[in-house]
Amino acid sequence: MQKQTAKILVVDDSPLQIEHLKKCLHRSGFEIFTTTKSDEAVELVENLLPDLVLLDIMMPKKDGYCICEVLKSSAATKDIPVIFITSKNERQDKIKGFCIGAFDYITKPFYTEEVEARVKNAINLKLSQDELKKKNSILEILAIRDELTVLYNRRYVLKRLDEEIERAKRYNRVFSCIMIDIDYFKKINDTYGHPIGDIVLRYMGEILRKSLRTVDIASRYGGEEFLLILPETDLAGTKSVAEKLRHIVCDAEPPESLPKDFKFTISLGIAIYPYDAESREKLINAADESLYTAKGAGRNCWRAYQNDLKNLSER
């Protein structure tokens, strides 16, 4: 099935040669695109992103070597295999083609069976590489994401927190952390069961993804706790974000998968770098202490960390 959907771009200034190749390759079920113009070949490759390019070397305006060099210099097209199919059959011509980055080199006149075999070989390798990249991409995502909420995981957010501290220290900037806890989460699990608890966690992850800026970092820190990093955000801005999130959770209509009239709330603790702490551990502790102050104040509220406890901020 993969071979039937594979796309091939044929670049040749001879319409007869193109027709010959189309007949040869259609038998294998490939989707064929063609051009006789060298000056539009690169643009076609960028737009189509074919699985293979069959490229004549002797083209007007821009030869195949030049086209291949351009394709191999671009991140978007460098992994697309190029097979030169040309009448240039000297050894130095072939060496030049391979040095530029060609996958294979076929000389004219050619046998159709040979072209089919070489094309299938290139396509199979390309599709295998694409599948491997896809799997590696999934593994990379799983390594930094929480599987349930799809937010960043604890290990990744701690790494990013170290980086944000270094950046803020270097450029004399501020940023903030917010620690969030779902109120009475144990009671939710005990009353409705863990599957409902999981739905609540996923829903909380969705709220955070939709409600924060793209530069903000939202993570599931552990259990029902979430840690946010808000770059370039002072105390006033962080208070605004905390109150916004509190309102969204408190007032939002829950998903249909939750029990009817189900509601839950959150408590939030704020800490600001560098005013409240200058190390990762102390900053997290400050946000955590603020969170527990919010819980002690009745939950469904936020509190900001203050070294002088008499000046604890109220929402």
Q: What is the pLDDT of residues 210-267, one digit of tens each?
A: 999 999 999 999 999 999 999 999 999 999 999 999 999 998 888 888 887 788 999 9
Note whether 246 and 167 are same-domain residues.
yes
Q: What percent of the chain has pLDDT over 70?
A: 96
Long-range contacts of 283-288 (CB under 8 A, 24+ apart): 283/161, 283/165, 283/177, 284/161, 284/177, 284/179, 284/227, 286/177, 287/177, 287/178, 287/179, 287/227, 288/179
Residue 188 in this model has a pLDDT that exceeds 60: yes
In whole angstroms, give the CA distance from residue 140 to residue 13.
43
* Residues near 38 by beta carbon (within 8 Å), at least 6 away in sequence: 11, 13, 59, 60, 61, 62, 63, 64, 67
Kindly list the catalytic residues: 224
Mean pLDDT of 6-20: 90
List pLDDT tens digits, range 294-307: 999 999 999 999 75
Residue 186 in this model has a pLDDT that exceeds 90: yes
Residue 314 in this model has a pLDDT that exceeds 70: no
Q: What is the mean pLDDT of the chain?
A: 90
Residue 55 in this model has a pLDDT that exceeds 50: yes
Tell me phi and psi for residue 307, to 5 degrees. Answer: -65, -35
Q: How many residues does the chain have?
A: 315
Note whether 55 and 184 are same-domain residues.
no
How sure is the predictor about 33, in pLDDT bands with cuts at 50, 70 and 90?
Answer: very high
Q: What percent of the chain has pLDDT over 90?
A: 68
How sure is the predictor about 34, in pLDDT bands with cuts at 50, 70 and 90?
Answer: very high
Structural domain includes residue 148 = no
Residue 310 in this model has a pLDDT that exceeds 70: no
Note whether 177 and 257 are same-domain residues.
yes
Note whether 224 and 121 are same-domain residues.
no
Residue 173 in this model has a pLDDT that exceeds 80: yes
Put simply, whether the predicted model's pTM sits higher than 0.75 gets the answer no
In whole angstroms, give the CA distance from residue 308 to residue 112.
83
Enter the tokens of residue 280: 């990762």
List pLDDT tens digits, range 112-134: 888 889 999 999 888 888 888 88
Residue-level pLDDT at 257: 84
CATH of the domain at 8: 3.40.50.2300
Note whether 202 and 303 are same-domain residues.
yes
Based on the structure, what is the number of domains in the chain? Answer: 2
Q: Which whole-number Å values give the CA distances from 135 to 9, 59, 121, 129, 139, in the listed order?
A: 26, 38, 21, 10, 6
Note whether 242 and 101 are same-domain residues.
no
Note whether 176 and 84 are same-domain residues.
no
State the residue range of the domain holding 182. 154-311
Residue-level pLDDT at 70: 93
For residue 71, the one-letter residue type is L
In whole angstroms, give the CA distance from residue 209 to residue 226.
12
Structural domain includes residue 287 = yes
Note whether 205 and 98 are same-domain residues.
no
Judged by average pLDDT, the poorest of 137-146, 150-159, 198-207, 227-236 is 137-146
CATH of the domain at 301: 3.30.70.270
Measured between alpha carbons, how far apart are the two ends of the chain, in Å? 59
